Amino acid sequence: MEATQKHMIQEGSSMFYHQPSSVKQMDLSVQTFDSYCTLESSSGTKSHPCLNNKNNSSSTTSFSSNESPISQANNNNLSRFNNHSPEENNNSPLSGSSATNTNETELSLMLKDLETAMMEPDVDNSYNNQGGFGQQHGVVSSAMYRSMEMISRGDLKGVLYECAKAVENYDLEMTDWLISQLQQMVSVSGEPVQRLGAYMLEGLVARLASSGSSIYKALRCKDPTGPELLTYMHILYEACPYFKFGYESANGAIAEAVKNESFVHIIDFQISQGGQWVSLIRALGARPGGPPNVRITGIDDPRSSFARQGGLELVGQRLGKLAEMCGVPFEFHGAALCCTEVEIEKLGVRNGEALAVNFPLVLHHMPDESVTVENHRDRLLRLVKHLSPNVVTLVEQEANTNTAPFLPRFVETMNHYLAVFESIDVKLARDHKERINVEQHCLAREVVNLIACEGVEREERHEPLGKWRSRFHMAGFKPYPLSSYVNATIKGLLESYSEKYTLEERDGALYLGWKNQPLITSCAWR
């Protein structure tokens, strides 16, 4: 933790003052989830302590290069699917190697049998393969034929989509077969689509088991230790510019809005480790005419104390030491509460202070009118507007998953996170010893939550910037366009990353993308 903070404090200095300026419910239990667990375990892999606790064992967790760190069920429970070795899995069409002769022969025979069956309309589709399919011809047969063609050419995205459709339609036999096929195509150590596919498959299996809630809670029980999680987050922070983009664009807007103020109060609705404020404190310390008095109110979910290995006072102590080094009069107030619990009296607003409010990748966790009648998403914006802030900064993922039905949400999740996984490859090699942990603990849970959970259990509810604009306008805010200097700063930041990252300015907001696909947006309001 100390090493992480030291590194963050040593990063760049003054940046902003160089220049003035109704379907039948499936009855599937968690035990059923064990038998559907999607990825193979090596012979040395032990049971997952959350999902296989039948004997109250205290076994530890390990995994092979082809096994999802989330899904580590007992090998006996996987026997119905594990007809192939991990070596065979690595030879999936998507990995660049051809499938085994056995798999090619099996697919060829299956396609021929299905073609023959489809030519005989008066005969049931009685294709059998270890239990087989007992459905009539038509939609199911066409779907099975289409899926086998996708499998033969290595179209993992297509097969995942067909499996999602089967899950949505509660077609257990089709789902069962597709899961067994997908197990051979995904790999947590393979191509980006294979790695993402492993976690999307986990989400589908969790959705089958219990609509996501109990399984997702079980997935949370094997958290890494605080220092480990900080390490994984910092690796991702350095490997991809997404967090830096959000932090520096928001800091630039705040610095511009308070450039002539003597007393500045920042309310951060997700303070985390406080790393965002390192560069701003340095910049304010170098401000022409002297630094202002700075007060930060840091709000964070009480669960985050696990990652910090302590309360918010630790964040205040670190930032206080930095502020002292920079000659900035500083005060910190920590508020360990969920954003849904925030009320005006808990924010400690004082007269005579310039107020900046920061929403860093946090508002999409707030339930809106589609989830609860309280509509905390809009309630929080109205509350902030009542404070008359000088500036409000918003950084969010550019995705549409909030109210989207399951299948469109599945596709949106696949497209959005595939771009993220592809971008990780630029900095983290396939053999990077921590890459699997980074993807599991920083990204996989989001993917599983998006696919497996519904209602109040689904915490990941992204909206595109157009929808956020509507919400801010309804709350009474007006756009606060980011300055050209902020844009230039972000462009300079991206130069140290891949040329495949794209930056677009549109209607006063910034869009950071990968191969022209927008992934993160940043904007400001007042």
In a domain, 167, yes or no: yes
Any idea what DSSP says for residue 440? I
Strand, coil or helix: what is 171?
Answer: coil
Q: Which residues constitute the domain of residue 248?
A: 241-398+462-525
Element housing 300 (H / E)? strand 293-300
Task: Give the residue ranges of DSSP H helices in 119-155.
Answer: 139-152
The pLDDT of residue 217 is: 55
Say if 2 falls within a structural domain. Answer: no
Question: In this structure, is residue 392 part of a structural domain?
Answer: yes
Given 460, 484, 504, which residue is the final one in a domain?
A: 460
Closest CA to 70 of 41, 43, 93, 94: 41
How many CA atoms are closer than 13 Å to the CA of 165, on its beta-carbon side? 12
Do 446 and 466 share a domain, yes or no?
no
Tokens (6 digits) for 374: 């309280």
Q: How far apart are CA 173 and CA 56, in angstroms?
A: 32
Beta bridge partners of 502: 513
Tell me if 81 is assigned to some domain: no
Pair 307, 229: CB distance under 8 Å: yes
In a domain, residue 85? The reply is: no
Statement to judge: residues 456 and 322 lie in one domain: no
Look at strands 354-360 and 263-268 and give their pairing.
Answer: parallel
Question: What is the predicted pLDDT for the residue at 336?
Answer: 86
Partnered with residue 524 across adjacent β-strands are 393
| 421 and 365, same domain (yes or no) | no
In a domain, residue 117? The reply is: no
Give ∠ CA 455-459-464 in degrees, rounded to 5.
100
Half-sphere exposure in the Cβ direction for 161 (13 Å, CA): 17
Same domain, residue pair 188 and 288: no
When divided into structural domains, the chain yields a total of: 2
Distance CA 39, CA 200 (A): 11
Last residue of a domain, one of 415, 432, 460: 460
Of 254, 482, 221, give the one whose Cα is nearest residue 359: 254
The answer on 453 and 377 residing in a single domain is no
d(CA 210, CA 203): 11
- Residues 200, 341 within the same domain: no
Strands (E), 365-516: 391-397, 501-506, 509-514
Find residue 266's DSSP bridge partners: 296, 356
72 within a domain of the structure (yes/no):
no
- The pTM of this model reads 0.77
255 and 391, same structural domain?
yes
Q: Are 409 and 161 in contact (CB under 8 A)?
A: no
Q: What is the CATH number of the domain that holds 250?
A: 3.40.50.150
For the chain, the C-alpha Rg in angstroms (whole number) is 25
Residue that terminates a domain, selected from 445, 460, 475: 460
Looking at residue 171, its pLDDT comes to 92
pLDDT of residue 111: 56
Query: Is residue 249 located within the same domain as residue 309?
Result: yes
Please state, in angstroms and rounded to a whole number, the distance separating the CA atoms of residues 128 and 119: 17
In this structure, is residue 290 part of a structural domain?
Answer: yes
Same domain, 152 and 291: no
- 185 and 304 share one domain: no
Among 298, 297, 242, smallest CA distance to 272 is for 298
Whether residue 369 sits in one domain with residue 479: yes
483: Cβ–Cβ under 8 A, 6 or more apart, which residues? 21, 252, 253, 256
Residue in 289, 282, 292, 297 with CA at minimum distance from that of residue 251:
282
> Widest CA span of the chain, in angstroms?
88
The Cα 260–Cα 269 span in angstroms is: 24
Q: DSSP code of 115?
A: H
Question: Buried b vs exposed e over 252-283: b needs ≥16 C-beta within 10 Å?
Answer: bbbbbbbbebebbbbbbbbbbbbbbbbbbbbb
The residues with which 263 forms a beta bridge, in sequence order, are 293
Q: Are residues 370 and 433 in the same domain?
A: no
CB burial string 47-75: b at 16+ within 10 A, e below: bbbbbbeeeeeeeeeebbebbbbbbbbbb
Residue 499: C-alpha distances to residues 91, 158, 277, 322, 492 (Å):
31, 29, 27, 33, 12
Going residue by residue through the chain (526 aa), what tens digit of pLDDT does each one get? 444 443 443 344 334 443 333 333 333 333 334 444 433 333 333 333 233 333 333 333 333 334 454 444 333 333 333 333 333 333 333 333 333 444 555 666 555 555 554 444 443 443 344 334 444 444 446 888 899 999 999 999 999 999 999 999 999 999 999 999 999 999 999 999 999 999 999 999 999 887 445 555 555 544 566 667 678 888 999 999 999 999 999 999 999 999 999 999 999 999 988 999 999 999 999 999 999 999 999 998 876 655 555 678 889 999 999 999 999 999 999 998 888 889 999 999 999 999 999 999 999 999 999 999 999 999 999 999 999 999 999 999 999 999 999 999 999 999 999 999 999 999 998 888 889 999 988 899 899 999 999 999 999 999 999 999 999 999 999 999 988 888 888 998 898 899 999 999 999 999 999 999 999 999 999 9
